[in-house]
Amino acid sequence: MFHTHTPPEYLTSDAITGNVVHCFSTRYGGVSTGHLSSLNLGVHRGDDWNNVYENYRRLGAAVGFTPEQTVFTHQTHTDIVSRVGAEDRGWGLFREVEPERDGIYTDEAGVALVCFSADCTPILLHDPVRHAVAAVHAGWRGTALGIAARCVEAMTRDFGTDPADLQAAIGPCIGPCCFETGPEVRAAMLDALGEEAERFIRPALRSCHSERSEESVPPSQEKYYPDLKRLNALWLRRAGVTTVDVSKDCTRCQPQRFWSHRVTGQARGSLAAVIMLRP
């Protein structure tokens, strides 16, 4: 179950427990103005850097981390996950992140991992036994590539993580209510996950009053509504993770509360999901 905190408003999952802090941000409680109002956490959105810094300071003060402790992803819709540590702090907020990585993980305390979204799926992982955390960004491409499972595998390889110990929280993203796609997205999910993926892809509803027969819609124009959160939960369960908490919130349904790329295009801020082992 997810809980709302304020101010600034952010969400936490009660699946993530122990000596760790985490959050999924909303738009509320920051200092950015105009179309970035108000809690923009992206440094490449056209915002004044000082506003972004102050937004991190406010969110971090409420959640329990500082801007100086942050390490960002560099998201390009890959399945690349990278191990980071204390020496990487400041990467993103104070200097450019060079290597592409859609997920980052660490076993070092005091390193606040940050991934970004504005309809894509943010995923946080915590291993309370081996003391490690991860932040992962999965759009539909990253979901089809199984980046959530790649991150679990990397934590097992590097830290000896038993996936059954992991606590996973999948944050707000565009839901199957709103995420209209063509058949290529469905095909990618079925290729990657097999028939079980079909449970989490809603076909377009046909009106029983429709004048057109079913045959009148060519397959290439069929619409499908994938549930990215549940597809990522499926990847995690297959990777051996048993504790997976899934947010009910759809970013596109609540554009005042969450940044939604589908609603505003590039004229938007970024949501952040943050997780850090307490020092």
The DSSP code sequence of 144-205 is HHTHHHHHHHHHHHHH---GGG-EEEE--B--TTT--B-HHHHHHHHHHH-GGGGGGEEEPP
CB 93 within 8 A of CB 72: yes
176 binds Zn ion (CB under 5 A): no
250 binds Zn ion (CB under 5 A): yes
Q: Which is nearer to Zn ion, 109 or 178 (CB)?
A: 178
252 binds Zn ion (CB under 5 A): yes
253 binds Zn ion (CB under 5 A): yes
254 binds Zn ion (CB under 5 A): no
Site size with Zn ion, rule: CB under 5 A:
6
Among 163, 172, 175, 269, binds Zn ion (CB under 5 A): 175
Minimum Å gap between C-beta 275 and Zn ion is 25
For strands 70-72 and 112-117, give the pairing: parallel
Minimum Å gap between C-beta 72 and Zn ion is 27
Phi, psi for 94 (deg, rounded to 5): -110, -20
Could you tell me which stretch among 4-12, 132-140, 177-185, 213-221 binds Zn ion (CB under 5 A)? 177-185
Q: Which is nearer to Zn ion, 12 or 260 (CB)?
A: 260
178 binds Zn ion (CB under 5 A): yes
Minimum Å gap between C-beta 116 and Zn ion is 19
Q: Which of residues 59-118 bind Zn ion (CB under 5 A)?
A: none
Measure the CA–CA gap between 129 and 131, rounded to whole angstroms: 5
Q: Which is nearer to Zn ion, 166 or 246 (CB)?
A: 246
Q: Which is nearer to Zn ion, 108 or 249 (CB)?
A: 249
228-247 burial: b if 16+ Cβ within 10 Å, else e: bbbbbbbbbebbbbebbbbb
CB 147 within 8 A of CB 234: no
Specify the DSSP element, H or E, that contains 238.
helix 228-238
User: What does the per-residue mask of binding to Zn ion show for 205-244, with x meaning CB under 5 A?
Assistant: ----------------------------------------
120 binds Zn ion (CB under 5 A): no
Measure the CA–CA gap between 182 and 89, rounded to whole angstroms: 40
Q: Is the peptide bond before 38 cis (omega within 30 degrees of 0)?
A: yes
- Residue showing tokens 């955390």: 133
Which residues of the shown chain bind Zn ion in the complex (CB under 5 A)? 175, 177-178, 250, 252-253
